[in-house]
A = this chain, B = another copy of it.
Amino acid sequence: MASDDLTLADVGEFALIDVLAQVFVASARPSVEVGLGDDAAVLAAPSGRLVVAVDQMIEGRHFRRDWSSAHDVGRKAAARAMSDIAAMGAVPTALLVALAAPGSLPLAWARELAEGLATEASVVGASVVGGDTAESPTLVVSVTAFGDSGDRALVTRSGARPGDGVFLAGRLGRAAAGLTVLSRGHRQPKSVVAAHRTPEPPYAAGVAAAAASATSMIDLSDGLLADARHIATASGVVIDLDRSLLGGDDDVEAMARNFGLDVWEWVLVGGEDYGLLATFAPEAVVPAAFRPIGRVSELREGREGPVLVDGATHRGAGGHEHFMPPS
Q: What residues make up the interface of A, taking CB atoms closer than 8 Å to B?
A: 8-9, 11-14, 16, 33-34, 37-46, 48-56, 58, 60-62, 84-85, 87-88, 90, 94, 96-98, 100-101, 103, 129-138, 140, 142, 144-147, 149, 154, 156-158, 217-219, 234, 321-325
Contact of A43 among B49, B54, B157 (CB under 8 A): B49
Name the one of B61, B130, B323 contacting A53, with C-beta atoms under 8 angstroms: B130
- Does A39 contact B88, Cβ atoms closer than 8 Å? yes
Which of B16, B38, B51, B321 sits near A40, CB closer than 8 Å? B51
Tell me whether B58 and A156 are in contact (CB under 8 A). Answer: no
Closest B residue to A320 by beta carbon equals: B13
A8 to B321, CA, bound (A): 11
Q: Which residues of B contact A322 (CB under 8 A)?
A: 8, 12-13, 133-135
A48 proximity list for chain B (CB < 8 A) = 44-46, 48
Q: Nearest Cβ distance between residue A292 and chain B, in whole angstroms? A: 22
Collect the chain B residues with CB atoms within 8 Å of residue A234's CB.
37-38
Q: Closest Cβ of chain B: how far from A25's Cβ, in Å?
A: 14
Decide: A14 and B51 in contact? CB cutoff 8 A: no
Closest Cβ neighbor of A94 among chain B residues = B52
A13 contacts B85, CB within 8 Å? no
A266: shortest Cβ distance to chain B, in Å? Answer: 21
For A130, the chain B residues whose CB sits under 8 A away are 52-54
B142 and A323 contact, CB distance less than 8 A: no
Contact between chains at B90 and A40 (CB < 8 Å): yes
Q: Which residues of B contact A37 (CB under 8 A)?
A: 157, 234
Q: Is the CB of B134 within 8 A of A40?
A: no
Q: What 4 A-B pairs come out closest when comparing CB atoms?
A: A45-B45, A40-B53, A138-B138, A13-B322
Known: A48-B48, A136-B140. A323 touches B12 (CB 8 A): yes
- Given A33-B154, A54-B132, A56-B100 in contact, is the A321-B42 Cβ separation under 8 Å? no
Give the distance to chain B from A320, nearest Cβ to Cβ, in Å.
9
Q: Of all chain B residues, which has the CB nearest A148? A: B45
The answer to whether B43 and A52 have CB atoms under 8 Å apart is yes
How many angstroms from the CA of A84 to the CA of B96 in the assembled complex? 14
> Contact at A138–B136, with CB atoms within 8 Å?
yes
Question: Whole-angstrom distance between the alpha carbons of A50 and B134 in the complex?
Answer: 24
Q: Are A88 and B38 in contact (CB under 8 A)?
A: yes
Cα distance, A129 to B49, chains bound together (Å) = 14
Distance in Å from the Cβ of A170 to the closest Cβ of chain B? Answer: 15
A-B contacts, 18 of them at CB < 8 A, read A8-B322, A9-B324, A11-B323, A39-B218, A39-B219, A40-B87, A41-B52, A42-B49, A42-B50, A42-B51, A44-B49, A52-B146, A54-B131, A58-B135, A58-B136, A61-B136, A98-B142, A137-B138
Please tell me if the beta carbons of A52 and B144 are within 8 angstroms of each other in the complex.
yes
Cα-based distance from A39 to B89 in the complex (angstroms):
10
Residues of chain B within 8 A (CB-CB) of A149 are 42
Contacts of A131 in B (CB 8 A): 54
Q: Which residue of B lies closest to A105 (CB)?
A: B323
Q: Which residues of B are found within 8 Å of A218, using beta-carbon distances? A: 39
